[in-house]
A and B are shown apart, each in its own frame.
Chain A
Amino acid sequence: MIPLTWSCPLPGGGLAQEYALTFDHGRARRLLVIPALFDEANRLRRFTVEVMRRLDQAGIDTLLPDLPGTNESLQPLHLLEPQDWADAMAAAARLFEATHVLAIRGGCLLTPPGVPALHYAPAKAPAILRQMLRARTLAAREAGREETREGLMTLALAEGIELAGYRLGAEFVRQFEALTVANKAIEIAQDTIGGSGLWLRAEPGDSAVQADALAAVVMVALA
């Protein structure tokens, strides 16, 4: 596994260097992995990389890029929009010459067009947003403040908001709320993998059995 940087297009033009993890041996099958979003990205990071290790063993190259404004990225997230994430993933697919895409949970909302895609347990944008808003109202209540999801949403659309440690601009929230899976993909449901999804875990977890299962489904799809 090699960490590298790649040239990611900036919203206003120009390029930024972004980080990616990769298994690249110039092989014929090349899979772009689009990570889960926000806190789920952390909870699924190890699982995602474990799946990539297995695919490497099976002769498939993989690239896991950062979404601009997250993980190691130096881009200010509050100035970005979901479209910038989608553009970044499209650019990563081109640079890596991806033959396929594997998107995970909320990452399925960012699948670039024109590349055969697999969607693992796709999450809906309103559900992702709702859960982060709920977490914030719970935290506020614990701290003795009263916040409601409706009130926070109004605030978010007016001036942006910080959710689960992510500073999101008003335009980001507005676009994200309406985001849907844009491109056709083969869906891989959690039932196919077995067990309960690791994104549900309060603490980041790991499952060799589930990583084996997801890698096997990907291998069959790419065969």
Chain B
Amino acid sequence: MSDDTDLLLRRILTDVLGLKQNQASDFTEDTGLFGHLPELDSMAVAGLLTELEDRLDIVIDDDEIDGEMLETYGGLLAFAKAKRKTA
């Protein structure tokens, strides 16, 4: 089974940030998220994590959430991929 985490994650960010279709495909590993995009406040990040859980069928504990994982697109993607492997 090919890993569709990247695609799903871009879709979630598109929905949460209200991006235009394909705008999220410009995201690279280094694209800044939490702390870089003003609209991504704590409420939005909470929503983002809840959507991640629902759509990737994973559970995210409080102590797994750290600044590094939320700071860049690459960080979040690596986290989501690792979670799905162990889910």
Which A residues lie at the B interface, using CB under 8 A?
Answer: 39, 127, 130-132, 134-139, 141-142, 148-149, 164, 196-197, 200-203, 205
With known contacts A132-B46, A202-B41, A196–B62 Cβ distance under 8 A: no
Chain B residue at minimal CB-CB distance from A130? B50
Which B residues lie at the A interface, using CB under 8 A?
Answer: 14-18, 39-47, 49-51, 62-63, 65, 67
**A201 near B42 (CB under 8 angstroms)?**
no
* Nearest-Cβ distance from residue B16 to partner chain A, whole angstroms: 5
Q: DSSP class of B's interface residues: helix, strand, loop or mixed?
A: helix
In the bound complex, residues from chain B placing their C-beta under 8 Å from that of A142 are 42
Pick the contact of A137: B17, B39, B47, B62 (CB < 8 A).
Answer: B62
In the bound complex, residues from chain B placing their C-beta under 8 Å from that of A200 are 15-16, 47, 51
Interface pairs A-B: 7 shortest CB-CB: A202-B44, A135-B46, A196-B15, A139-B42, A138-B42, A134-B46, A202-B39
Pick the contact of B42: A130, A135, A148, A197 (CB < 8 A).
Answer: A135
In the bound complex, residues from chain A placing their C-beta under 8 Å from that of B39 are 202-203
In the bound complex, residues from chain A placing their C-beta under 8 Å from that of B17 are 201-202
In the bound complex, residues from chain A placing their C-beta under 8 Å from that of B63 are 148
